[in-house]
Structure 1
Amino acid sequence: MTFDLKTALKYIILFLIGIGVLYLAFRGQDLGKIWQEIKTADYFWVITSAFAVWIAHILRALRWQMLYHSIHYKVSFWNAYHAVMIGYLANLALPRFGELGRCSVIHRAEKVPMFASIGTVITERLFDVLMLFFTSLAMVTLQYDIVSDFLYDAIYLNLLKKLDSLNYWWLVGLTITISVSVLIAVYFLRKKFSKKFLRIFVSLRQGFGSYGKLRQKGIFLTYTLGIWIFYSLSMYFAFSSIQATAGLHFNAAFTAIVFSGFAMAAPVQGGIGVFHWMVAQSLVLYGISFKDGLAYSTIIHSSQVLLILVLGGFSLSRILFKKTGAVKSS
């Protein structure tokens, strides 16, 4: 993979945006009090929270492994797990690079075609998007009285302002330009690299069709639900780490995980800044001060980053020093 100056600048800019959001979140706050809360946190609950996140990562590896098995690539659990952890590790440096990174790990370890892996990753990410949609819908439905004002003021009114200022002709022109460019690129790629393009298309289609070929869709969906449950539990367990949030119930964790889900979708390394602001804002809805929310979000974000650095680094070392295997298909 080539890494030119333009690519480097893009990721540096994204990182600086994250730092900027982090600065805005902490600006005007009493940093001394926030640091004091972090220092006096009950780290038993911090470790318990991190353990719940680790269980979610294991479930993600098991779910991904199922997609490979459905298209007759017998990827081992440990290779799938190490690839997932390495992917999270890569995302700390370059946002969204982890998805390609973990596909590359499976290609190296199991000789699975890259584009077949990419197809499976896109498939499982679609289920994550669906889960985020349904959990958001459940949050609004079950806690409408709590979140309605925030959704109206922070999202609906801002969206109306942006739509009012939007130049629709510019948007139509951009859509047409992108569509035509994609069609032209596909045409010339197929003409110049017809055989290679066909192999790529077949591999991608194979990956996309992995869910449809699953024999145990119920287990796959159970893993998907389990991932979100353990993410929510990690939020809930961490409430007990500081006094300010110790009295919060699971519904607050449910809302926090929805807010953090949108934060982690931002193209910023590790969700830095955006995660802190969104989680702190979600806790404000339950009577927690923004300052205390920032202390809580800093604790849980730092514990998750540390978990990825340690376990992701271990997985990376395991893969680098492991002999590549041969793909086993049936």
Structure 2
Amino acid sequence: MKIVRHSWQWWLKNFLPLLIGLAILFYLYRHLELGDTLRLLQHGVRYEYLLLSLPLGLLGNVVRGYRWHLLMRPLYNPPARPINPILITIGSYAVNFVIPRAGEVWRCTEMKQREDYALSATVGTLLVDRLSDALIVLALLVAMMLFQTGAVSQILASRGLSLGGGVGRLFSSDYATAWIIAGGVLLVTALVFYRFRKSSFMQRVRGKLRSVLQAASTLRGWRAWSQFLVLTLLLWIVYYYFFYVTFGAFAFTAELGHRVAFATFALSTLMIVVPTPAGVGPWHYAVITSLTAFGVSEAEAGQFALIVHAVQTLWTISVGVIAILLLPIINRRYKREKEYTVKG
């Protein structure tokens, strides 16, 4: 039996995010009173609200899977069955929890196995999928700054910061040196990229950009783009309510309303840039920071984040494992037609 030995870079890449998340979690909950949390679980949680939120999380992942199918549908004729990209998307969340970001690689390889889709074709559609997520996160940030300035100010004030003062100071003479250094770093970075534009790394970057453009070009016409935009909007509305419904499960959040829920959701969503498994650590920090800014005690905010994240993560992993187990069953006698054409 051959033993596979991984380099230290492999271990660092795959397990450092988990260690970072656990370190943040330990810091946040180092003063947690276990007895208080157990009493809350026994007498202070309305579990019907937590249970009500769970189908919304599944629905959001189903919509995400169908949106991915919409991106891939024009690439091949005949196209894949929608059930496969949907189940693969749901299953990828379980894979991601084991190894951060590995779910995306698994999605591509599964589409290759189940539908005989070329990896080069699916990678481009996944990049478009993730790019749309990044744009939504940016839109959430802009919406917060434009329409919930008061909420942003409260969150910053709870950490001893000021929105107006902070922005103003950035352009003061005190920061002139920092701006010069930042400009120099950007200039040097641009020169390095130009100098090594023919390197293998830059070739890979250009290859990914071409994949994105190729995948985006499959959405020809207003009908395809409108479907994609509607699904994207629906996806994030469902994700918001997946989070918002849980406010009803606790007496200290039940009356907070959409203003606080949206601010907390937006801030926690920004934490997806930190690649920890299921957002462990950064997500908790964002939720605790936001809730305490609106009057929830730090202990109660910590309990909310811990319980909601644990329940919803266990649910997402469970349905993900079920989806992975269903894939070979529903594809047992299925094979997409060999005669297909790749649409340009």
Please say whether Structure 1 and Structure 2 have the same fold, judged by a TM-score greater than 0.5.
yes
Overall identity of the aligned pairs, in %: 22
Which residue in 2 is equivalent to 1:314? 322
In structure 1, runs of 5+ residues without a counterpart are 190-196
Q: 176, 183, 186: which is aligned to 2:198? A: 183
Q: 102, 110, 135: which is aligned to 2:107? A: 102
Q: Secondary structure at the match of 1:243?
A: coil
Q: Is the contact between residue 284 and residue 306 of structure 2 (CA under 8 Å) also seen in structure 1?
A: yes
Distance 1:103 1:305, change over 3 A: same
Q: Secondary structure at the match of 1:288?
A: coil
Match status 1:56 vs 2:60:
yes
| 1:256 Cα deviation from its structure 2 partner | 1.8
Match status 1:206 vs 2:214:
yes
Aligned residues: 322
Task: Describe how 1:15-164 pairs up with structure 2 within 5 A.
Answer: 15-40=18-43, 41-72=45-76, 74-151=79-156, 153=161, 157=166
> Can you list the C-alpha shifts for 1:74-122, whole angstroms capped at 9, x where unaligned?
1222101111112111111222111111111111111111121111111
Q: Is the contact between residue 263 and residue 275 of structure 1 (CA under 8 Å) also seen in structure 2?
A: yes
- The structure number with the bigger radius of gyration is 2
> Can you list the C-alpha shifts for 1:146-195, whole angstroms capped at 9, x where unaligned?
21243472888599699966854456445543554453216889xxxxxx
TM-score, normalised by the number of residues in structure 1: 0.85
Distance 1:291 1:187, change over 3 A: closer
| 1:22 Cα deviation from its structure 2 partner | 0.6
TM-score, normalised by the number of residues in structure 2: 0.82
Distance 1:97 1:182, change over 3 A: farther
Match status 1:284 vs 2:292:
yes
Match status 1:13 vs 2:16:
yes
Q: Is the contact between residue 240 and residue 265 of structure 2 (CA under 8 Å) also seen in structure 1?
A: yes
Q: Is the contact between residue 70 and residue 215 of structure 1 (CA under 8 Å) also seen in structure 2?
A: no
Distance 1:312 1:212, change over 3 A: same
Q: Is the contact between residue 154 and residue 294 of structure 2 (CA under 8 Å) also seen in structure 1?
A: no
RMSD (Å) for aligned C-alpha atoms: 3.2
Distance 1:219 1:201, change over 3 A: closer
> Can you list the C-alpha shifts for 1:47-90, whole angstroms capped at 9, x where unaligned?
11111111111111111111111333512221011111121111
Take 2:235 and 2:282, find their aligned partners in 1: how far apart are those partners?
21
Which residue in 2 is equivalent to 1:326? 336
Take 2:209 and 2:26, find their aligned partners in 1: how far apart are those partners?
44
Letter in 2 for 1:294: G
Letter in 1 for 2:261: A
Letter in 2 for 1:90: V
Q: Secondary structure at the match of 1:133?
A: helix
Letter in 2 for 1:16: L
Take 1:290 and 1:82, find their aligned partners in 2: how far apart are those partners?
38
